[in-house]
Amino acid sequence: MLLPHLTGVLVDRVEVVGGAVWMWASPRAEAVPCPRCGDPATRVHSRYERRLADSPVAGRKLVLRLRVRRWFCDGTACLVKTFAEQVDGLTVRDGRRRPLLRAMLERIAVALAGRAGPRLATSLSAPASRSTLLRLVMSLPDPSAVTPKVLGVDELLAQGHSIRGIARGLGWGQKTVQRYARAATWQDIVDGKWKGPRSNKLDPFKPYLQQRWESGCTNALQLHREIVVLGYPGAYGQVRAYLEQRRLNPEAIAPAPPTVRRVTGWLTRHPDTLAEDDQPRLKAVLEQCPELRAAAGHVRAFGEMMTKLQGELLPEWIAAVRADDLPGLTSFANGLQSDLDAVTAGLTTTWNSGPVEGRVNHIKMIKRQMFGRAGLALLRKRVLLTAVRH
């Protein structure tokens, strides 16, 4: 049969209506087991039509108009008086989409929950709105967990271990664990700076609001509804106040010029991967500043030590850096000295935080894909659901 999932129904009529295929059908079964007690029900209470969006046929949207029945349950001890029948592989309770179509949309949603999701769905003749795709992702069950062999500090914390407990378990100082736990990037470990928690719940959604605003949606009520779907926990008033402020002061803030971070990026990148036009820029900077030139040499040596797992050279490296007395780098070297065992282990064994970093980058990619507007709950879902495939 052309459509194997339709074996449970009799197709009464097929018509093409406005570019879509409409199919009228009714279930074949003459008795249906009660979902509560399992007794076969044979008395029909009533009939009604359910419209189901099906996976597209030859590029056309397919709408199933299924005439389903409500049955009486005659089970003597059963609490159910009547129930609506479900057709295997075709309907789920209260679902307006066929399981096959739903599975397709779920995959699209997990891969592309941003704007690209609805676009792809539409081009596959299975239109679904952004919020529908988001709801689909959120209702997917988490994949079953595998016991990992190596954990990062963040993961231990996420599992509810205390900092003291982790420090004991790893044989590290509590301050060290605290520093690692608070750091958002490795640079934070180096200079000990990190940003405090966000004071404003709306902040993570501002890029999204900005984008919607620029595309012409300035309705606070509508925008509040949209970001609530994305995970915004706050009230409508805050959104309205923010939009009001934008209305009064519409100039966007100019992006900050690339500075220290940019140079840091050049210094910490593998020299071979430095973009061609960045090479002369880096050279010019280093020529201006002998301290930076010295620092660059140490950074390069450290990078080599890291990639070749030459932890035994670390004390020598620390001594060389201390001798140069460079701001930042010296305190980094001192920090390494105080964690020498852990760092040496990190530089000599193949166990390191690489996989964790990789996962962090993966999460950032997902977040960027959604223009930074993914709420924590949604991010968590997509990370879990994509991780099992990587």
Residue 130 CA to residue 226 CA, distance in Å, equals: 9
Residue 34 CA to residue 199 CA, distance in Å, equals: 53
Are 90 and 5 in contact by the 8 Å Cβ rule? The answer is yes
Closer residue to Zn ion, CB minimum distance, 78 or 363: 78
Closer residue to Zn ion, CB minimum distance, 36 or 175: 36
Q: Least distance in Å: CB of 88 to Zn ion?
A: 18
Q: Least distance in Å: CB of 30 to Zn ion?
A: 17
Closer residue to Zn ion, CB minimum distance, 61 or 69: 69
**What radius of gyration do the chain's Cα atoms show?**
29
41 Cα distance to chain centroid: 45
Residue 376 CA to residue 374 CA, distance in Å, equals: 6
Residue 236 CA to residue 256 CA, distance in Å, equals: 30
Residue pointed to by tokens 């040496």: 344
Strands (DSSP E) found in the chain: 9-17, 20-27, 32-33, 40-41, 43-57, 60-72, 82-84
Closer residue to Zn ion, CB minimum distance, 35 or 372: 35
Closer residue to Zn ion, CB minimum distance, 76 or 288: 76
Are 374 and 231 in contact by the 8 Å Cβ rule? The answer is yes
Residue 230 CA to residue 114 CA, distance in Å, equals: 11
Closer residue to Zn ion, CB minimum distance, 42 or 139: 42
Q: Least distance in Å: CB of 81 to Zn ion?
A: 9
141 Cα distance to chain centroid: 15
Are 102 and 136 in contact by the 8 Å Cβ rule? The answer is yes
Are 218 and 243 in contact by the 8 Å Cβ rule? The answer is yes
Closer residue to Zn ion, CB minimum distance, 38 or 148: 38
Where along the sequence are the contacts to Zn ion (CB under 5 A)?
Answer: 34, 36-37, 73, 75, 78, 80
Closer residue to Zn ion, CB minimum distance, 75 or 127: 75
Residue 68 CA to residue 63 CA, distance in Å, equals: 15
Q: At a CB cut-off of 8 Å and minimum separation 6, what does 196 contact? A: none
Q: Least distance in Å: CB of 100 to Zn ion?
A: 29
Q: At a CB cut-off of 8 Å and minimum separation 6, what does 106 contact? A: 136, 137, 140
